[in-house]
Amino acid sequence: MPQRKTFNGFSSTIEVLMKILGLLIVVSLTACATTPLAINQTAAVPETRILAPQLVAQTANTGSLVVKRDSGFMGSACAIRVFVDAVPVADLKPAERVEVFVGFGEHSVVVTTTGVLCGGGTSETAVVIMPERQRILRIASGQSGDILLQPSAF
C-alpha cells in the first residue's frame, strides 16, 4: 500500500477537520427546515398563551379556523403570535395549534415572531370562513428563516 505523504502529521488532522465540517454542514441543513404536522399531531396552545379567549368558544354564525405550527429546530426558541383581523389571538410554540371561531366571510390572518432577537418577519393571508367547513392554516419556517403562512389540508 502506498503511504500517505504527511507534513508533520498535518494531513491526518486536515482530513479529520474536513469530515467534521462536512458533518456539521449536513446537520445544519437538515435542522433548518420545519416538518409539517397533522392537527392530531399538534398540542392545543396552553390557556396562558391565548390572548383572545372570546374567540376560542364557538357561538352562532361562526366557523372554525385552525392555525397550527410545524415542528422543527428553525425558530423554535421564539413564539409566533397569531392575529385574526388585527386582534392578537395566541402565541404558538412549535407543534402547537389554536382553534378560533370567527364569523362567516373573509378574514385576515397574520403571524409574526414575538421576540426582538427573533428573525422570520411577518406573513399574512386571507381566509374565507364558511358554514360546515373547517379552515386550516400552517405556520412553517423555511431554510432562509422566513415565516410562511399557508393553507393546509390536514
For 13, 27, 29, 31, 146, the CA distances from 24, given in Å and listed in that order, are 17, 5, 9, 10, 22
Does residue 28 sit in the same domain as residue 53?
Answer: no
39/29 Cα distance (integer angstroms)? 26
**Residue numbers of the domain that contains 90:** 39-151
Does residue 2 sit in the same domain as residue 71?
Answer: no
pLDDT higher than threshold 50 for residue 30:
no
pLDDT higher than threshold 70 for residue 40:
yes
Does residue 72 sit in the same domain as residue 50?
Answer: yes
Q: 148: closest CA among 114, 127, 123, 129? A: 123
What integer is the mean pLDDT of 108-130? 90
Q: What is the mean pLDDT of the chain?
A: 85
Residues near 54 by Cβ (< 8 Å), separated by ≥ 6?
none
Distance, CA of 101 to chain centre: 21
Does residue 26 sit in the same domain as residue 48?
Answer: no
pLDDT digits (tens, 9 = 90+) for 49-104: 999 999 999 999 999 999 999 998 766 778 999 999 999 999 999 999 999 999 99
Residues near 6 by Cβ (< 8 Å), separated by ≥ 6?
12
Helices within the chain (DSSP H only): 10-32
pLDDT confidence of residue 115: 78
The band of 15, judged by pLDDT with boundaries at 50, 70 and 90, is: confident
Q: Which residue has the cell 392578537?
A: 88
Q: 123: closest CA among 68, 80, 74? A: 80
Look at 17-31, 37-51, 97-111 and tell me which has the smallest mean pLDDT: 17-31
pLDDT digits (tens, 9 = 90+) for 110-119: 999 987 777 7
Residues near 116 by Cβ (< 8 Å), separated by ≥ 6?
none
Does residue 12 sit in the same domain as residue 46?
Answer: no
